[in-house]
A and B are shown apart, each in its own frame.
Chain A
Amino acid sequence: MNRNDILKIIYQELEKVNADHIPLKEQTDMTTDLNVDSVSVMDLMFAIEEEFDVAVPLNDLADIRTIGELADLVEKIGAA
Chain B
Amino acid sequence: MGDIFQKFEHIKKVRGHFLEQSACNPLGIKIDEIYSPTQARILGQDCIMLGTNNYLGLTMNDEAIAQSVEATQTAGTGTTGSRVANGSYQGHQALERRIADYYDRKHCILFTTGYQANVGFISAITGKDDYVLIDADSHASIYDGCKLGDATILRFKHNDPENLAKKLARLPEDANKLVIIESVYSMLGDIAPLKEFAAVSKKYGAYIMVDEAHSMGIFGENGRGLCESEGVEDQIDFIIGTFSKSVGTIGGYCVSNHDGLQDLRYAARAYVFTASLPPAIVAAAHANLDTIQNTPSLRTQLWNNTDRIYDGLKAMGFTVGPHKTPVIGIQMTDIESGIRAWQILFEHGVYVNMALPPATPAGVCLLRCSVCAAHTPEQIDKIMDAFETVYRTLYGTPKSEAA
Give chain A's interface residues, CB within 8 Å of chain B. 17, 35, 37-40, 42-43, 45-46, 55, 57-59, 62
Q: Is the CB of B358 within 8 A of A39?
A: yes
Known contacts: A55-B167, A58-B146. The answer to whether A38 contacts B358 by CB under 8 A is yes
Check B98 for interface membership: any CB of A closer than 8 A. no
Known contacts: A37-B358, A38-B358. The answer to whether A57 contacts B154 by CB under 8 A is yes
Q: Is the CB of B10 within 8 A of A43?
A: no
Known contacts: A35-B10, A43-B136. The answer to whether A57 contacts B358 by CB under 8 A is no
Q: Is the CB of A37 within 8 A of B357?
A: yes
Given contacts A35-B10, A42-B136, A58-B146, 20 further A-B contacts (CB under 8 A): A37-B357, A37-B358, A37-B363, A38-B358, A39-B363, A40-B358, A45-B155, A46-B136, A46-B157, A55-B154, A55-B167, A55-B170, A57-B152, A57-B153, A57-B154, A58-B154, A58-B155, A59-B152, A59-B153, A62-B147
Question: Main SS of the interface on chain A?
Answer: helix
Q: How far is the CA of A23 from the CA of B280 in the complex (A)?
A: 57
Q: How far is the CA of A37 from the CA of B215 in the complex (A)?
A: 29
Q: How far is the CA of A21 from the CA of B170 in the complex (A)?
A: 37
- 8 A-B pairs, CB-CB below 8 angstroms? A17-B363, A37-B358, A37-B363, A38-B358, A40-B358, A40-B363, A45-B155, A58-B155
| B116-166 residues at the A interface, CB under 8 angstroms | 136, 146-147, 152-155, 157
Q: Which residue of A lies closest to B150 (CB)?
A: A59
Closest Cβ of chain A to B258, distance in Å, is 25
Q: How far is the CA of A69 from the CA of B387 in the complex (A)?
A: 47
Q: Which residue of B lies closest to A46 (CB)?
A: B157
Cβ proximity bits B329-373 to A, threshold 8 Å, 1 near / 0 not: 000000000000000000000000000011000010000000000
Contacts of B146 in A (CB 8 A): 58
Q: Which residue of A lies closest to B360 (CB)?
A: A39
Closest Cβ of chain A to B105, distance in Å, is 30
Q: How far is the CA of A57 from the CA of B152 in the complex (A)?
A: 6
Q: How far is the CA of A37 from the CA of B152 in the complex (A)?
A: 22
Q: Is the CB of B357 within 8 A of A39?
A: yes
Contacts of A42 in B (CB 8 A): 136, 155
Contacts of B167 in A (CB 8 A): 55
Closest Cβ of chain B to A25, distance in Å, is 21
Q: Which residue of B lies closest to A62 (CB)?
A: B147
Closest Cβ of chain B to A32, distance in Å, is 9
- In this complex, the member of B146, B147, B167, B358 whose beta carbon has the largest number of chain A beta carbons within 10 angstroms is B358
Closest Cβ of chain B to A56, distance in Å, is 8
Closest Cβ of chain A to B333, distance in Å, is 14
Closest Cβ of chain A to B132, distance in Å, is 9
The 8 closest A-B pairs by CB, nearest first: A37-B358, A39-B358, A58-B153, A57-B152, A55-B170, A55-B167, A59-B153, A57-B153
Contacts of A37 in B (CB 8 A): 357-358, 363
Q: How far is the CA of A40 from the CA of B155 in the complex (A)?
A: 13
Q: How far is the CA of A59 from the CA of B149 in the complex (A)?
A: 10
- In this complex, the member of A35, A55, A59 whose beta carbon has the largest number of chain B beta carbons within 10 angstroms is A55
Closest Cβ of chain A to B286, distance in Å, is 38
Contacts of A45 in B (CB 8 A): 155
Q: How far is the CA of A17 from the CA of B96 in the complex (A)?
A: 46
Contacts of B154 in A (CB 8 A): 55, 57-58
Contacts of A55 in B (CB 8 A): 154, 167, 170
Closest Cβ of chain B to A46, distance in Å, is 6
Q: Which residue of B lies closest to A60 (CB)?
A: B152
Q: How far is the CA of A58 from the CA of B146 in the complex (A)?
A: 9
Q: How far is the CA of A64 from the CA of B341 in the complex (A)?
A: 38
Q: How far is the CA of A59 from the CA of B154 in the complex (A)?
A: 8
Q: How far is the CA of A58 from the CA of B180 in the complex (A)?
A: 15
Q: How far is the CA of A59 from the CA of B157 in the complex (A)?
A: 17
Closest Cβ of chain A to B133, distance in Å, is 10
Closest Cβ of chain B to A33, distance in Å, is 12
Q: Which residue of A lies closest to B163 (CB)?
A: A46
Closest Cβ of chain A to B16, distance in Å, is 15
Q: Which residue of B lies closest to A40 (CB)?
A: B363
Contacts of A39 in B (CB 8 A): 357-358, 363
Contacts of A59 in B (CB 8 A): 152-153
Contacts of A58 in B (CB 8 A): 146, 153-155
